[in-house]
Amino acid sequence: MTNVVEGFSTELAEIVKSAGPAVVRVEGRRRLPASGIVWSEGGIVVTAHHVVERDEGLSVGLGEDQKADAELVGRDPTTDLAVLRVEGIELSPAASAGLDDLSVGHLVLALGRPGRTVQATLGITSALGTSWRTAAGGSIDRYLQTDVVMYPGFSGGPLVDAKGKVLGLNTSALRGVSLTIPSLTVDRVVESILSHGRVQRGYLGVGVQPVNLPEALAEELGQETGLILISVEPDTPAEAGGLTLGDTLLSVHGEPVRRLDDLLSMLSADLVGEEVIVRILRGGDVREQKVTVGERQ
């Protein structure tokens, strides 16, 4: 009779065998190659931005003889993602999954292909949180941390669940720990890059810092802080919309802004080119300005 350990070991090997064909080797830097995930039809491969150190001379490989040139479609440093297009070899897209059924303590596998064959390491989901923003300002839909060992060349490879489905892309470049960019975030970034060559983000052209609101106004609005403008760049949407140094932002497009993250979150791609109402405090008076959101280059 097959014992429990042997059966578990066999299941793990089957998971790697099932997910392995969607894991590729990415050669985009001088040292050890990294990994990538075949994300969709048409030879679309996603990998980590930080492992693609050049824009040309890229290649993707599966085995010893399966190798093809790759074109860099675009990259988003703020989420550490890069999108490649590959022709010349047959690629099998990964089956992805959301995080709704994932909990802290669930076993996961990190896969990589820095060489000719797929490599794997086993770990557990150690932290699972809500959306967060990277130091560079990128929006990540969920916080997903594991205790898997990120071996050299594993960045850009997938984290897979017990069914062999891809939960997201592993990276060691965002917070110094083993983090996974969820599939939902990868989907959003890939779609934007394929459509526009970049990730679109709204832009006002202001420098801000949180400030406490007058007690009476704070009670009226139900928020204790706003964002005071410490700079307004010339020839920007903010200047064109009449915002000036010393104004305090209270809300944008009907949403209160208490912290910088609030402002960055609401300046999404769908607002680029749209006229929005910006509510401000100026000289003790609350007023509204119309500002057309620009696009951050």
- Average pLDDT value for residue range 270-277: 89
Contacts of 75 (CB under 8 A, 6+ apart): 49, 52, 81, 82, 83, 193
Instruction: Enumerate the β-bridge partners of residue 36.
Output: 24, 47
Provide φ and ψ at 51, rounded to 5°: -95, -5
Comparing 31-35, 219-223, 270-274, the range with the smallest average pLDDT is 270-274
pLDDT at 136: 79
Strand (E) positions, 14-147?
23-27, 34-40, 44-48, 58-61, 67-76, 81-86, 107-112, 119-128, 132-133, 139-140, 144-146
- Average pLDDT value for residue range 51-79: 92
Instruction: Enumerate the β-bridge partners of residue 109.
Output: 122, 160
User: Looking at the domain covering 202-295, what would its CATH class be?
Assistant: mainly beta
Pairwise CA distance, residues 83 & 75, whole Å? 6
Q: State yes or no: pLDDT of 174 exceeds 90.
A: no
Provide φ and ψ at 135, rounded to 5°: -60, -25
Confidence at 2, pLDDT banded by 50, 70, 90: low
Pairwise CA distance, residues 263 & 253, whole Å? 10
- Average pLDDT value for residue range 129-154: 90
Question: β-pairing, 166-171 with 158-160?
Answer: antiparallel
What percentage of the chain exceeds 70 in pLDDT? 99
Give the chain's mean pLDDT: 93
pLDDT tens per residue, range 23-39: 999 999 988 999 999 99
* Residue reference for tokens 């699972």: 128
Domain boundaries, the chain: 1-199, 202-295
- Average pLDDT value for residue range 120-135: 93
CATH fold of 1-199 reads Thrombin, subunit H (2.40.10)
pLDDT at 137: 78
pLDDT at 233: 95
pLDDT at 4: 87
User: 92: exposed, middle or buried (C-beta count within 10 Å: 0-12, 13-18, 19+)?
Assistant: middle
Kindly list the catalytic residues: 50, 80, 155
pTM > 0.75: yes or no: yes
Topology agreement, domain 1-199 and domain 202-295: no
- Average pLDDT value for residue range 222-233: 95
